Structure 1
Amino acid sequence: MNTADKLLYLLIQADGWVSGELIAQSLGMTRTSIWKSVQKLEAQGHTIESVRGQGYRYVEGAKISVAGIEKYLKQHVNLEVFDTIDSTNIYAKEKLGSREINETTVLVAEQQTGGVGRLGRQFFSPKDTGLYVTFALPLDSHSAVNPGRLTTSTAVATSKMVKELFNIDLEFKWVNDLIYHNRKVGGILTEGTIDIESQQFSSLAVGVGMNLAVPATGFPETISQKAGALVDKLTVSRNQVVATLINYFFDMYADYQDGRYIDQYRQRVVGIGQQVEVQRGQTHINGVIKEIDEDGRLVVDTETGLAYINSGEITKLMLPNNGYKG
């Protein structure tokens, strides 16, 4: 850890003013090196106030850092933070596959240049206003995996974070869309790697992407009719947002297998009783949504009977208020 990073940790953990004298004593720095480190941190996007007679103070803002996230965590986790990356999910799968990530790790990005959604679609991921997190989860050979329960439970964990920090109640469109005011504000992408020899999951990458605030330049025209954000302007620290999501995720991940989060998912899912079209690979299934079953599968009443769908996407859904259409 370089000198600037040590100073960043000290200021963030102090949560208030820290005198230059205390910094010098704690980190073995001269006043000149403190000043140079502050300049370096400010160039990276951090906001640090300095007042003669009081010292230095870190000001929470949009900038994400390991130190800033750790301040709000309930337990230690391995963290990697990127200023820019193509996709945290792609990176996670590559590093899990090569075993460069061999223990549970959370990957966080300031922005993504090639964010990925379902069916390989691009997920718009601008700087300063979004949440882009992937949970890289290596598995041992005895690990049981229920993808439907994991994705729906992750949606519930994400909604708890949003309720705590923004006092907003999210809705869900099966299986991975996060909805607010009839607009998509985020999504969840759960991807697994299969071990060829055992034919079992060897790792999982669970990605959560969300528009926390409206981007300064707005949304691209291609998604402007469907995309939305939680707020117009972000007043909550993104470090706190990331950390609170991590806390809820790992609380959930410890016991999601028993299905305890399914009822909470059902309470917020949209479209029950509505006519839909579901795309599963090259197949299109038409019918009426009956329910979400205990494994997170979509149950659709079709002309030939009930269809239990564990993967796919609802491509046509119009809610009664003519609001969200997906």
Structure 2
Amino acid sequence: MSTEGLVQLFGRYPDQYVSGELMSQELGVSRTAIWKQIRKLESAGYEFEASTKLGYRLAYAPEKLDSERLTDLMETSRFGKKISFHEQVKSTQDIARELAESGAPEGQLVLAEEQLGGRGRMGRSWVSPQGKGLWMSMVMRPNVPIHCAPQLTLLTAVALCRALKRHTDLPIGIKWPNDLLVNGKKISGILLESAAEDERLKYIVAGVGLSVNLTEADYPEELLDKATSLRIQAGRVWSRKAIMAAFLKEWETLYDLFLQEGFRPIASLWESLSVTLGKPVRFITPQGELTGVPIGLEDSGAIRVQREDGSVTALFSAEMGEPLP
């Protein structure tokens, strides 16, 4: 018996409990075999409600991602037009970097149903369970100097935030530099890694992890007060394909604007979406801790912080803590 056969059986009884006896009869296998297949489906992102008297009800079936249908949804000219799809990977960043080194075109996307070693900024791990999020990396080849790389990190955050706000109506905002928050909890991770040649960017691999349909049960207990998903916040399931298409369209639009007009229009959009500007906060920098009020972005992408003595410091690399009381 395959998991596919079990899914098809539940499809014949939508929103109903199916007894172990009925499943055994229809599929011609033991109840133990059925239980093992249900465990496999749960590890693949399916969710079941169990009742001692009634059996099992399929509560959630993950929307499958496939490159052909995704390509049909794209309203872009480059981003996501070529997709390398994987069921399970250690990290989409590693695969995208290999593709970039071998000459993959701008817009080449690596997409996975599950990451075993997803990572974010500062080397942190990222929870990437199967079938419930968008775990992707894309090759970018901007003809700009090396120092523009941080600007593209901020641009990616702006594109994702704008697309999600439009698609979900949730109160999503940006915490510097690129964390997306809903009600103070993080829903995405963005990591850009670059390679340079002759003082110009050779390529950038932009990694994005978005928690779409995760439930609280998908997170380690220690992350529940810090991390969330679109599903948890909205109380409903979302189409990953529709969200991805909306994001790539916004991302390409802002990227083209950046190439034509520079970073200032992107900086203005970032400032309008920030949830941390104007609030006292503690920064952890390579030189030590610093307290001040972030007041805006430099054209370089650095954040301007006003100190208690009125002086203004530009920070390029720092970890922003929670707003101070």
Q: Same fold (TM over 0.5)?
A: yes
| Cα displacement (A) at 1:276 | 2.2
Q: Distance in 2 between matches of 1:100 and 1:242?
A: 24
Q: 2:158 corresponds to which letter in structure 1?
A: V
Give the equivalent residue in structure 2 for 1:264: 269
Higher mean C-alpha displacement, 108-117 vs 215-224: 215-224
Match of 1:212 in 2: 212
Q: Which of 80, 87, 98 is residue 84 of structure 2 equivalent to? A: 80
- Pairing of 1:180-199 with structure 2 (within 5 A): 180-195=182-197, 198-199=198-199
CA deviation after TM superposition for structure 1 residue 102, in Å: 4.6
The whole-number CA distance in structure 2 between the counterparts of 1:312 and 1:105 is 30
Equivalent runs, 1:104-115 vs 2, <5 Å: 104-115=107-118
Contact 1:275 1:288 in 2 (8 A): yes
Task: Note closer, same or farther for the CA distance 1:130–1:282 as it changes in structure 2 (3 Å cut).
Answer: farther
Cα distance change, pair 100–148 in 1 and its aligned pair in 2 (3 A):
closer
1:230 Cα deviation after fit: 1.4
Question: CA 1:282–1:63 in structure 2 vs 1: closer, same or farther (change >3 Å)?
Answer: farther
Tell which deviates more after alignment, 80-89 or 283-292.
283-292
Shift of 1:64: 0.7
Alignment of 1:111-130 (within 5 A): 111-130=114-133
CA contact (8 A) 1:129 1:234 kept: no
Tell me the residue number matched to 1:65.
66
Tell me how far apart the structure 2 counterparts of residues 318 and 303 of structure 1 sit (CA, whole Å): 15
Match of 2:314 among 297, 305, 308: 308
Q: CA deviation at 1:270?
A: 1.9
CA distance 1:237–1:206, shift in 2 (3 Å):
same
- Counterpart residue identity of residue 108, structure 1: L
Unaligned runs of 5+ in 1: 1-42, 46-59, 321-326
Identity of matched residues, % = 24
1:83 Cα deviation after fit: 0.9
Structure 2 gap segments, 5+ residues each:
1-40, 45-60
Q: Bigger CA drift: 127-136 or 227-236?
A: 227-236
Q: Which amino acid aligns with 1:82?
A: H
Equivalent residues, number:
258
- Please name the residue that 1:161 is paired with: 163
Superposition TM-score, scaled by structure 2 size: 0.71
Corresponding residue SS for 2:110: strand
Letter of the structure 2 residue corresponding to residue 284 of structure 1: E
| Alignment CA distance shift 1:283-1:204 (3 Å) | farther
Question: Which residue in 2 is equivalent to 1:101?
Answer: 104
Counterpart amino acid of 2:128? Answer: S
Over the aligned positions, Cα root-mean-square deviation in angstroms equals 2.6
- Partner secondary structure for residue 93 of structure 1: helix
Q: Aligned with 1:295: secondary structure?
A: coil
Task: Indicate the larger mover: 247-256 or 275-284.
Answer: 275-284
Q: Is the 8 A contact 2:62 2:131 kept in 1?
A: no
Contact 1:187 1:209 in 2 (8 A): yes
CA distance in 2, matches of 1:218, 1:319: 30
- Checking the alignment, whether the CA contact within 8 Å between 2:304 and 2:312 is kept in structure 1 is yes
What is residue 174 of structure 1 aligned with on the other side?
A: 176
Secondary structure of 1:62's partner? coil
Q: 2 CA distance for matches of 1:63 and 1:317?
A: 37
The alignment status of 1:295 with 2:300, answered yes or no, reads yes
Deviations 1:64-95 (A, max 9, x none): 11022112111351111111111112322233
TM-score by length of 1: 0.71
Contact 2:92 2:111 in 1 (8 A): yes
Q: What SS does the corresponding residue of 1:71 show, helix, strand or coil?
A: helix
Which residue pairs with 2:11 in the alignment? none
> How far off is 1:271 after superposition?
2.1
What residue is the counterpart of 1:55 in the other structure? Answer: none
